[in-house]
Structures are given as structure tokens and as C-alpha cells.
Amino acid sequence: MRSSPVLDKAAGALAEVVPAALRRREVTGLLDVRAWGKPVHPAVVVLPIGLYAASAALDLMPGSSKAARAVIGVGLAAAPVALATELAEYGTLDERQRRTAFVQLAANAAADVCYLTSFRLRGHGFGVVARAVSALGLAALAAGGLLGLQPAKPAKPGTVPHQHQEGPGGVREPV
């Protein structure tokens, strides 16, 4: 995944589709809040992932199907916030970072679809199938996390990581 023209083309196309309004400084300031100098997206995305993983643990316990469905529901409710923070940050990433973010975004979207399907199946009494679909969702999350891992490169002396300039109309652009 270090170099893939197909992934780069898809990741670049997504960056162009992210509306300029979402890249406005006011919006990115809200969605890309920094806590202790770090972007909030990694902390926000942990919520749905953790809830989905908790539902897998509940699936292993007899009589916990209602609790697992409730936990999945809360994860599904948190997923749009994680998506919004990722998309707000996405347009400001360089090509290598965009490639990684694109893979993680696709894996998270696949997992969300699996968990939404599982949630609905559970509501209709298809517990065994719902658990299998949840397992596929958890596998998608794991694959996205593993594929997204890249060794960190140290910043060049004199540069500021994630440095941005404000472009026309208050749109943040990567430096």
C-alpha cells in the first residue's frame, strides 16, 4: 500500500468531492478540534470502534443479545461524528496520508454497513446471522487498522507537522 496509483487516484477523487464548505476554517475548527495539540479525530473514531468491539464480547455471553444490539446502536449513532471529523481533515492531508486515510475510511464505512445490517437483523430476530455480519464488520475494522499502519517518518528539521495555510474563502489548504 506504500505506492498504489489506483488508490492515489481514488483518494484524490474523494479529496475533490469533499465540499469546500467542509474545509472552511470555521468547520474544520469545530470538527478538527485539537486537544493538547493533537487532532480529535483519532479519539472520536475510537468510540464506534470500541462499541462495536464491545458488542462482539457481548455476543459471546449467553442472553446478551439485547445489550449487544443496544451497544451497536450507540456505535452507529457515533459513527457520523467520526466520519465528519475524518472528512474535515481529509482535504488537508498530503498524498501519502490521504492514501492511508482512504483505506481506513473505506474499511470503517464497510464496518458501519455491516453493523447497521446486524442491528436491523437483530431487530427482526435473526441473531445468528446478525452475529456473523457483526464479525465481518469487526474484521473490516481490523483490516483497515492494520492496512492503515505505516511507520512514522520524523519531521524534517524546521518544519511544523500538519502545517496549513488558509486559502480563498477561508478554506484550509495543505502547505
Mean pLDDT is lowest, of 35-44, 72-81, 135-144, for 35-44
The fraction of the chain above a pLDDT of 70, given in percent, is: 71
- pLDDT exceeds cutoff 70 at 85: yes
Are the C-beta atoms of residues 114 and 132 closer than 8 Å to each other?
A: no
Among the residues of the chain, which ranges form H helices?
5-17, 25-31, 41-59, 65-90, 95-123, 127-148
Could you give the percent of the chain with pLDDT greater than 90? 42
Using the predicted structure, report yes or no on whether residue 149 has a pLDDT greater than 50: yes
Residue 143 CA to residue 135 CA, distance in Å, equals 12
pLDDT at 72 over 90: yes
Q: How far is the C-alpha of 112 from the C-alpha of 5, rounded, in Å?
A: 26
Q: What is the pLDDT of residue 152?
A: 46
pLDDT at 80 exceeding the cut of 60: yes
Would you say residue 19 has pLDDT above 90?
A: no
With a cut of 90, say whether residue 15 has pLDDT above it: no
What does the chain come to in residues? 175
Q: Is the pLDDT of residue 51 over 80?
A: yes
Q: Comparing 111 with 167, which gets the higher pLDDT?
A: 111
The better pLDDT of the pair 94, 107 is held by 107
| CA angle (153, 88, 97) in 5-degree steps | 20
Q: Which helix (H) or strand (E) holds 149?
A: none
- Supply the pTM of this predicted model: 0.76
Q: How far apart, in Å, are the Cα atoms of 40 and each of 32, 46, 51, 84, 149?
A: 6, 10, 18, 11, 18
Domain boundaries of the chain, sorted by first residue? 5-147
Per-residue pLDDT at 146 exceeds 90? no
Q: Where does the pLDDT of residue 175 fall: very low under 50, low under 70, confident under 90, or very high at 90 and above? A: very low
Q: Which residue has the higher pLDDT, 50 or 37?
A: 50
